[in-house]
Amino acid sequence: MIVEGTHAFPGSVAVVWGMLQDPDVIARTTPGTRQMRRVSPERYEGKMRLGLGLFTAEFDVAITLADVVAPERYTMMVAGEGRLASLRGSVALRLSPDGASAVLHYAAEFQVGGPAAALGHRLLESVGQLMARQGLEALSRELTRRLAAQSPPSGPAEGPSERPLSGPSEGPTPASP
């Protein structure tokens, strides 16, 4: 199964690179990921659960980063083992600047084994493309959320006042005691 494409992110290469290294972000944005932890600078381990109709596979997943050239590119070597399926493959990622944005170029190649392989190449490839799109959209939402949290609020620094700061007041003036 081969899945490839590009995706533009509304942030710099450095910010996107940092997110691609963060195990919490990986866990939140990769479809089916239940847990992900970084066990060394180049290795992550976790658990995934993927459903395909009536078929559900749970995996113990190991991801090893290779050919790392920060913040430009790396290759993820992925191995997953589960009771009903196994997964082996690689994902080559390359980031390039495009103005204030970052463009991610990706190419993934996976082999699925076990009973899950009986689902067929076309179905598995469609699922791979869907997972890539969902993951990249989730990563874009996470990036947008982070950028919004970092930017200063727009508009006046203070909320609207109930009374004007100068000029005549409107309405009756409260009586003094």
Domain ranges of the chain: 2-146
Q: What confidence tens digit (pLDDT) does each residue in 117-132 have?
A: 777 767 778 878 888 8
pLDDT score for 173: 44
Could you tell me the two tokens for 129?
């493309």
Beta bridge pairs of residue 77? 64, 90
Across the beta sheet with 33-40, the strand order is: 2-9, 101-113, 86-98, 73-81, 55-69, 43-52, 33-40
- Confidence band (pLDDT; 50, 70, 90) for 150? confident
pLDDT score for 153: 63
Q: What confidence tens digit (pLDDT) does each residue in 71-102 have?
A: 999 999 999 999 888 889 999 999 999 999 99
Taking the C-alpha atoms of residue 147 and residue 153, their distance in angstroms, rounded to an integer, is 12
pTM of the model: 0.76
Identify residue 177 by its one-letter amino acid code: P
Identify residue 17 by its one-letter amino acid code: W
Q: What percent of the chain has pLDDT over 90?
A: 53
CATH of domain 2-146: 3.30.530.20
Look at residues 99, 42, 41, 104 and name the one whose alpha carbon lies nearest to residue 72: 104
Q: What confidence tens digit (pLDDT) does each residue in 15-38 have?
A: 999 999 999 999 899 998 999 999
